[in-house]
Amino acid sequence: MEYRRLGKSGLQVSALSLGSWLTFGKQIDNSVAEELMALAYEQGVNFFDNAEIYARGRSEIVMGEILKKYNWQRDSYIVSSKVFFGYLGKDAKPTQKGLSRKHVVEACEQALKRLQLDYLDLYFCHRPDKETPIEETVWTMHNLIQQGKILYWGTSEWSAQEIMEAHMVAGQHHLIGPVMEQPQYNMLERARVEVEYAQLYKTVGLGTTIWSPLASGVLSGKYNAGFVEETRLSILGMDWLKESALQEEKLEKSRKLTAFAKELGVSLPVLAIAWCLKNQQVSTVILGASKKEQLQENFNALGAQQLLTDEVMNKIEEILQNKPKFPDY
| Other Cβ atoms closer than 10 A to 138 | 25
Q: What are phi and psi of 47, to 5 degrees?
A: -125, 125
- The enclosing H or E element of 308 equals none
Measuring CA to CA, which residue among 62, 57, 71 is closest to residue 30? Answer: 62
DSSP 316: H
- Asked if 276 and 186 touch (Cβ cutoff 8 Å), the reply is yes
- The enclosing H or E element of 154 equals strand 150-155
Burial of 88 (0-12, 13-18, 19+ CB in 10 A): middle
Q: For the chain, what's the residue count?
A: 329
Q: DSSP readout, 192-226? A: IIIIITHHHHHHT--EEEEB-TTGGGGGGTTTTTS
Number of Cα atoms under 13 Å in the Cβ half of residue 107? 34
- Which residues are designated catalytic? 54
| Residue 140 to residue 173: CA distance in whole angstroms | 13
Q: Give SS3 for 120.
A: strand
Measuring CA to CA, which residue among 114, 104, 27 is closest to residue 79? Answer: 114
